[in-house]
Amino acid sequence: MNNVGAGVVGLLLGGAAYWVVDNVAKMEPTVEPTMVSTAADEARAFVADAEATFEELGPYAGHVFWIQANFFTHDSNWLVAKVSEEFTTLGVELAIEASRYNDVELDFDTRRKIDSLRRGLTLPAPSDPEKTKELAAITTGLGATYAAGKYCPAEGECLADIDIIQIMANSRDEAELKDVWQGWRTVSPPMREDYVRMVEIANEGSQELGFADTGALWREGYDMPADEFTAEADRLWGQVAPLYESLHCYVRDKMIDQYGEAAQTDSGMIPAHLLGNIWAQQWGNIFPLVAEGDADPGYDLTQLLVDAGYDEIQMVKTGENFFTSLGFEPMPETFWERSLFTKPQDRTVQCHASAWDIDSTDFRIKMCIDITGEDFNTIHHELGHNFYQRAYKIQTQIYQGGAHDGFHEAIGDFIALSITPNYLVQLGLLDEEPDAAADIGLLLSQALDKIAFLPFSLVVDQWRWKVFSGEVAPENYNAAWWALREQYQGVTPPVERTEANFDPGAKYHIPGNTPYMRYFLAHILQFQFHKAACDMAGWEGPVHRCSIYGNQEVGTRLNAMLEMGQSRPWPDALEAFTGTRQMDGSAILAYFEPLKVWLDAKNAGKDCGWTVS
């Protein structure tokens, strides 16, 4: 999954890998407030002093993490571990200091900034310096273990995750798929012991700050109490679950047609290795296996890009052009000089796509771009982060972040929803729009990625919340992981899994300690943003055919929301663009309405659903 997007405070510090994939922004040293007369004055001075240090120290950390991401060596890992330790210590001290003002009556901005500082660490270490050092070493080690992970089969070359991703996307050999699926999961068992210890230390740090556990700290970052946010996530999932269940039923039968007994389960679940993705989180790669004669999108975006001779730079230039068509200024020249667009052949890098804000002027993306339709969409996603980062640089340091982290993830994907046939015609990639009969194919292709992803994105943090709270003990880590995946996704492992395995660790964001609810919320919000923008533009046709390319009125209103950063609660930012204050999955249902009708017709008479043991 492509990621990035969090506020300054949110980067203090979820482990080295989390720094890598987010804003990589400003850090806070210990602050000694000047002599003032009241507790409120002390709080304001504390915040002002903290913000003043962000600009001074932020670029230092940003450059260190950039070097490690692009030159993965013993020495760069050492530097990151050292910086992680230093800044985790600083973050803990700031959070503890901020907690002193919990009961002080403060003006709106000071209170909001104090609360942000208190929640500023993704994995807060306790005040014990030895535990801070230990936590920094663990998080760096987990990220490094994942990045260096390879499966070495008995014959042939060793395979990194990017190699296995390609095999699972393209192979239709069930035995090969099962082999590499199991093989990749051999990289994560060595992480398990460190992960258990990391949870212990982070929970101790969270409790020092007044949170029940680290999962509660994460959930309270959404301008509501932790339990209310849990209920909000469940509400949103309840809105869209019927569409997922229809898609699951249809895909399951197609997998049985393709793979026979290997795809059949007594429970009605789908074996996870058959869905075209190393984590079964998105299913778009199996589109050729599930598309019927009346589900042809009419074109192959990857082939269009190849035929047009696109290279990596042109892919990125085209994405940038979408934003400038809305009235945004182009990225600075340093973006093109300092970003990583292609995988180097002479060194190990972390290819996971990410967007960077080094110092509020130096914006970059890091990608190993392939000339594919998937990467074309990913580029729009990452640029969404960069344009958001640049828009809110007008805010003070603590406010330089998304309204919540789901906003940051949603912006680029919302823009990518305008990569419609009409847009491709305007780019000269298509001669003419396919007939409306091709819409089912386009919607099915999108649903295999975006709708299939929704329950997976819930599971990742549902599991971590239960781990942090102690509801799931270390001796049940793997069983709980698969119980949640079976409950929400209706997928099951192709072979028996035990507690000798640590399958959560085979997903980048678990050892990288990147909170994952941002992606679930982003998948809700991107459709809500898209529908609001299309309504704003006066679009009267089907929602899925709307493109806002070139609409500067929409761009002006979008920029107004982006410029708010974290300065106001997210409902205020949502209202500024959409006119509503509640996240709402109904826009997804409106977008995919023709597909839902088609799926239900295809599923008529079938025994849909699955049972969980």
CA angle 390, 391, 394 (to 5 degrees): 95
- How far is the C-alpha of 352 from the C-alpha of 365, rounded, in Å? 10
pLDDT > 80? residue 362:
yes
Question: Helix 74-99 to helix 129-147 angle, to the nearest 10 degrees?
Answer: 140
Nearest to 502 by CA among 530, 481, 528, 487: 481
Q: Judge whether 509 counts as a catalytic residue.
A: yes
Between CA 493 and CA 272 the distance in angstroms is 5
Residue 515 exposure: Cα atoms within 13 Å on the Cβ side: 31
What was the pLDDT predicted at 581? Answer: 96
Catalytic residue among 86, 174, 220, 382: 382
Q: Is the model's pLDDT at 3 over the cut of 90?
A: no
Q: How would residue 89 be classed by pLDDT, with cut points 50, 70 and 90?
A: confident
Task: Give the mean model confidence (pLDDT) for residues 521-534.
Answer: 97
pLDDT at 7 over 60: no
Judged by average pLDDT, the poorest of 179-193, 284-298, 391-405 is: 284-298
Q: Which residues lie below 8 Å from residue 99, measured CB to CB, with a gap of 6+?
A: 118, 209, 210
The per-residue pLDDT for range 416-436, each reduced to its tens digit, is 999 999 999 999 999 998 887
- Could you give the 3-state DSSP secondary structure of residue 48? helix
Structure tokens at 157: 């070359």
Report the distance separating Cα 327 and Cα 529, nearest Å: 18
User: Per residue in 32-41, pLDDT tens?
Assistant: 444 445 999 9
Among the residue ranges 90-94, 118-122, 251-255, 573-577, the one predicted with the least confidence is 90-94
On whether the CB atoms of residues 139 and 12 are closer than 8 A, the answer is no
On the question of pLDDT at 112 being above 90, the answer is yes
| Proportion of the chain above pLDDT 70, given as a percent | 94
Residue 523, pLDDT above cutoff 50: yes
Residue spans per domain, the chain: 14-146+191-211, 161-186+229-298+445-506, 301-433+517-582
Q: Could you say which DSSP state residue 474 is in?
A: G
> Running DSSP on this structure, what letter comes out for residue 420?
-
Beta bridge partners of 491: 270
Classify residue 157 as exposed, middle or buried by CB count within 10 Å of its CB (0-12, 13-18, 19+).
exposed
Q: For 298-352, how does the pLDDT look when each residue is reduced to its tens digit (9 = 90+)?
A: 788 999 999 999 999 999 999 999 999 999 999 999 999 999 999 888 887 878 8
| Catalytic status, residue 232 | no
Q: Specify the 3-state DSSP secondary structure of 291.
A: coil
> Exposed/middle/buried for 596, CB within 10 Å: 0-12, 13-18, 19+?
middle
The predicted structure's pLDDT at residue 37: 59
Digit-coded pLDDT (tens) for 63-80: 999 988 888 888 988 898
Q: Give the tens place of pLDDT for each residue, 401-416.
A: 999 999 998 998 999 9
Does 10 score more than 60 pLDDT?
A: no
- Quick: pLDDT tens for 141-155: 998 899 889 999 988
User: Mean pLDDT over all residues of the chain?
Assistant: 90
Catalytic: which of 248, 385, 509, 530? 509
